[in-house]
């Protein structure tokens, strides 16, 4: 089975959010399950140079973008036993960040989507499934529908994975049509048109064979008006093709037993001493009093309303005075950044905030805190709660999306559970959930430790998620599950890549060919075929000879011209077009001379009479 994972970002090359983590981990997990999974992404200027130095130039082509052509270079990198293809175009990908203004991004990722399909014959890879991700690759299923004249593309299936329905790639209809260069057929309300705009994600959802999301609950939620972001009717119509698969986390990157960033490593048997040592270290680093008995609540997040920070802001005073210490790490909306700075100043002994991004500090917070607060308004999947559970930090979350699917609420009667949850998006419900967690932490240490252990033992690795993706691919294609040894480690195109000319030589060759072609076209005379007006083909006729226009006869000599014409029709000469024209001109000039002679005689007679 062959799968191409098309994405706008991929760790460790470029990452801005959860999509980068998924693209960096899922294809590798699929390859471990004997799926020939490869990744294609843009060659951004912001990708670290040491990765670019390892890439190998394969070839380049030119992409038709409606009325213009754009260069498209193809580079390959074999990294961690996975093959990555990079699409090169400095016009679109030369910025210092992967995303820009939406109108610029729409054209940029339309080019990328068309390039993903166009390079497949060049790299010699024909996937059974193309897994698209979010609106940036939404045009791929649409373009694939226009590529069906080429047998190479027939039978390729597509899946579009929605990581966050809020972002849809919506822009002016005229601009999107101009960039895509496809028929108006695709820009109707049942396809890409969306309230007089164009919607790239909607196009992908209409034409993809399957639609997947990153959790079962989120798959249901987006079919409702509350979470559907205006596309709930389309998702309800395609509910039979809608699948929810929870993301996983990389246990190579997030593992307390071998984490290089934390003070003391630990596992399910040694978590008591390990977490105590990391907690003390975190309290010192954040400037809080070292108190092993004080509950420490952590927050690592973007500071936005989506993550529930309006609820936290409303109850922050109660949280600070409730008997716990709180640490915050993240950046986001200015109102929340300033709020947390203020409370760091107001309660330095119980509240500490770092308004920045720090991968190292995030590892320390997951390892050193007792609980993790995540009251999201909506959460397609969420990775923070998975990481916190694996590090023995009990999550306190709202029951939405992936949070509901992954965090099992604590049941004091059965002892089951991996965290604490609340259902309604309400600040009072949130604070009551925090009080319940604090009550168990302070008054029932045995139950708290059981919750910690249950969370650490839960398996949310990418191997589990990869199995579900393979099931979806098999259902879609009708192929059997891949068996051991069925994947080629380094499958390459048929040609010898090692002996291809280098990048600069190929570009110079293209320019030389284009210049010689233009010179040839400029030197070549255009051939104009002129049919014989007499209906006969003559071998000595010169079709390139320019016909001189026949002069119109004066009205007074019309009768004489008819006689000349009738005389000319009596015989059917076999002559070339040039000779025929010459005869007509001679006849015309002769009749003109006769007319001139007669008019002069008439004038002489008139003058004689007068005299």
DSSP 402-462: HHHHH-PBP-TTT---SBEEE-SS-HHHHHHHHHHHHHHHHH-HHHHHHHHHHHHHS--BH
Average pLDDT over residues 419-442: 97
Q: Which of 174-178, 338-342, 516-520 has the lowest mean pLDDT?
A: 516-520
Query: Is 519 contained in some domain?
Result: no
What is the number of structural domains in the chain?
A: 3
Average pLDDT over residues 308-316: 96
- Whether 547 and 611 map to the same domain: the answer is yes
- Whether 275 and 190 map to the same domain: the answer is no
Residue 383 CA neighbour count, 13 Å, CB half: 21
What is the pLDDT confidence band of residue 544, given thresholds at 50, 70 and 90?
very low
Query: Is 336 contained in some domain?
Result: yes
- Residue-wise pLDDT for 334-359, tens only, equals 999 999 999 999 999 999 999 998 99
What is the pTM for the complete model shown?
A: 0.78
The pLDDT score that the predictor gives to residue 604 is 45
Instruction: Find out whether the peptide bond into 12 is cis, omega within 30 degrees of 0.
Output: yes
Average pLDDT over residues 281-305: 95
The pLDDT score that the predictor gives to residue 507 is 55
Mean pLDDT of the chain: 86
The pLDDT score that the predictor gives to residue 585 is 60
* Helix 445-457 with 427-443: angle, nearest 10 deg: 110
What is the pLDDT confidence band of residue 575, given thresholds at 50, 70 and 90?
very low
- Residue-wise pLDDT for 62-98, tens only, equals 999 877 899 999 999 999 999 999 999 999 999 889 9
Query: Is 498 contained in some domain?
Result: no
What is the pLDDT confidence band of residue 103, given thresholds at 50, 70 and 90?
confident
Residue 173 has pLDDT above 80, yes or no: yes
| CB-CB contact of 443 with 231 (8 Å) | no
Q: Higher-confidence residue: 565 or 76?
A: 76
- Rounded Cα distance between 6 and 3, Å, is 10
| Region of residue 140 (left: phi > 0; alpha: psi -120 to 50; beta: else) | alpha
The pLDDT score that the predictor gives to residue 493 is 46
Domain that holds residue 598: 530-611
Q: Higher-confidence residue: 541 or 180?
A: 180
- Point out which residues pair with 532 in neighbouring strands: none
Query: Is 254 contained in some domain?
Result: no
- Whether 56 and 80 map to the same domain: the answer is yes
| CATH code for the domain in which residue 146 is found | 3.40.50.2000
Q: Higher-confidence residue: 142 or 543?
A: 142
Burial of 429 per CB tally in 10 Å (0-12, 13-18, 19+)? middle
The pLDDT score that the predictor gives to residue 17 is 82
- Whether 309 and 204 map to the same domain: the answer is no
Q: Which of 33-37, 101-105, 397-401 has the lowest mean pLDDT?
A: 101-105
What is the pLDDT confidence band of residue 490, given thresholds at 50, 70 and 90?
very low
Residue 4 has pLDDT above 70, yes or no: yes
- Whether 79 and 63 map to the same domain: the answer is yes
What is the pLDDT confidence band of residue 482, given thresholds at 50, 70 and 90?
confident
- Whether 289 and 305 map to the same domain: the answer is yes
- Whether 184 and 307 map to the same domain: the answer is no
The residue whose two tokens read 């100043």 is: 345
User: 347-371: string of b/e by CB count within 10 Å (b at 16+)?
Assistant: beebbbbbbeeeeebbbbbbbbbbb
The pLDDT score that the predictor gives to residue 483 is 80
The pLDDT score that the predictor gives to residue 513 is 63
- Rounded Cα distance between 238 and 130, Å, is 19
Query: Is 421 contained in some domain?
Result: yes
Residue 411 has pLDDT above 60, yes or no: yes
- Whether 452 and 472 map to the same domain: the answer is no
Residue 501 has pLDDT above 70, yes or no: no
The pLDDT score that the predictor gives to residue 500 is 47
Residue 271 has pLDDT above 60, yes or no: yes
Query: Is 258 contained in some domain?
Result: no
- Residue-wise pLDDT for 576-592, tens only, equals 455 555 665 666 565 55
Average pLDDT over residues 545-552: 51
Q: Where are the beta strands (DSSP E) in 226-379?
A: 242-244, 295-300, 324-329, 351-354, 371-374
The pLDDT score that the predictor gives to residue 492 is 46
Residue 317 has pLDDT above 50, yes or no: yes
Query: Is 261 contained in some domain?
Result: no
The residue whose two tokens read 């998975």 is: 386
Q: What percent of the chain has pLDDT over 70?
A: 79
The pLDDT score that the predictor gives to residue 579 is 57
What is the pLDDT confidence band of residue 522, given thresholds at 50, 70 and 90?
low
Query: Is 511 contained in some domain?
Result: no
| CB-CB contact of 357 with 380 (8 Å) | no
- Whether 470 and 421 map to the same domain: the answer is no
- Whether 91 and 194 map to the same domain: the answer is yes
Average pLDDT over residues 153-163: 96
Residue 457 has pLDDT above 70, yes or no: yes
| Highest mean pLDDT out of 445-454, 534-543, 575-584 | 445-454
| CB-CB contact of 303 with 332 (8 Å) | yes
The pLDDT score that the predictor gives to residue 95 is 87
- Whether 41 and 190 map to the same domain: the answer is yes
- Whether 85 and 186 map to the same domain: the answer is yes
């Amino acid at each position: 089975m062959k799968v191409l994972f098309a994405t706008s970002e991929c760790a460790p090359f470029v990452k801005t959010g959860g999509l980068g983590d998924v693209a960096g981990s899922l294809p590798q997990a699929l390859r471990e399950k004997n799926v020939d999974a490869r990744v294609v992404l843009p060659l951004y200027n912001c990708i670290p140079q040491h990765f670019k130095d390892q890439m190998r130039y394969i070839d380049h082509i030119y992409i038709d973008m409606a009325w213009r052509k754009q260069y498209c270079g193809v580079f390959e990198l074999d990294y961690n036993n996975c093959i990555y293809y990079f699409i090169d175009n400095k016009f679109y990908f030369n910025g210092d960040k992967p995303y820009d203004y939406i109108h610029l991004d729409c054209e940029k990722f339309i080019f990328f989507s068309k390039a993903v399909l166009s390079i497949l014959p060049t790299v010699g890879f024909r996937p059974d499934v193309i897994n698209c991700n979010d609106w940036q690759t939404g045009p791929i299923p649409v373009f694939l529908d226009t590529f069906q004249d080429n047998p190479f593309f027939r039978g390729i299936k597509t899946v579009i994975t929605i990581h966050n329905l809020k972002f849809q790639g919506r822009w002016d209809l005229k601009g999107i049509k101009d960039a895509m260069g496809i028929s108006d057929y695709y820009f109707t309300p049942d396809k890409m048109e969306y309230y007089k705009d164009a919607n790239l994600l909607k196009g992908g959802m209409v034409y993809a064979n399957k639609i997947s999301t990153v959790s079962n609950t989120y798959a249901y939620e987006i079919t409702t008006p509350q979470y559907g972001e205006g596309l709930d009717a389309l998702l309800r119509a395609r509910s039979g093709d809608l699948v929810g698969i929870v993301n996983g986390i990389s246990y190579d990157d997030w593992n307390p037993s071998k984490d290089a960033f934390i003070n003391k490593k630990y596992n399910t048997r040694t978590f008591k001493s390990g977490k105590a040592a990391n907690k003390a270290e975190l309290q010192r680093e954040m400037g809080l009093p070292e108190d092993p008995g004080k509950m420490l609540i952590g927050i690592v997040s973007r500071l936005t309303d989506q993550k529930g920070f309006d609820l936290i802001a409303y109850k922050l005073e109660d949280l600070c005075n409730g008997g716990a210490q709180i640490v915050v790490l993240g950046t986001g909306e200015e109102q929340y950044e300033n709020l947390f700075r203020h409370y760091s100043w107001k309660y330095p002994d119980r509240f500490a905030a770092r308004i920045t991004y720090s991968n190292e500090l995030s590892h320390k917070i997951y390892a050193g805190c007792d609980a993790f607060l995540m009251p999201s308004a909506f959460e397609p999947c969420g990775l923070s709660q998975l990481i916190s559970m694996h590090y023995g930090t009990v999550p306190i979350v709202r029951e939405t999306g992936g949070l509901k699917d992954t965090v099992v609420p604590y049941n004091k009667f059965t002892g089951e559970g991996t965290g604490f949850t609340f259902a309604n998006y309400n600040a009072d419900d949130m604070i009551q959930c925090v009080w319940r967690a604090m009550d168990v932490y302070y008054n029932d240490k045995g139950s708290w430790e059981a919750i910690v252990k249950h969370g650490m033992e839960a398996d949310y690795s990418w191997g589990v998620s990869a199995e579900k993706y393979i099931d979806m691919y098999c259902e879609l294609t009708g192929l059997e599950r891949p068996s051991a040894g069925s994947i080629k480690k380094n499958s390459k195109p048929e040609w010898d890549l090692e002996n291809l000319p280098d990048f600069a030589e190929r570009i110079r060759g293209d320019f030389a060919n284009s210049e010689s072609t233009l010179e040839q076209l400029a030197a070549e005379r255009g051939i104009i075929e002129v049919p014989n007006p007499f209906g006969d083909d003559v071998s000595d006729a010169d079709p390139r000879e320019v016909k001189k226009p026949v002069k119109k006869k004066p009205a007074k000599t019309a009768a004489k011209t008819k006689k000349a014409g009738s005389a000319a029709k009596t015989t059917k000469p076999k002559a070339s077009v040039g000779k025929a024209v010459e005869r007509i001109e001679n006849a015309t000039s002769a009749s003109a001379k006769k007319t001139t002679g007669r008019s002069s005689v008439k004038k002489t007679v008139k003058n004689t009479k007068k005299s």
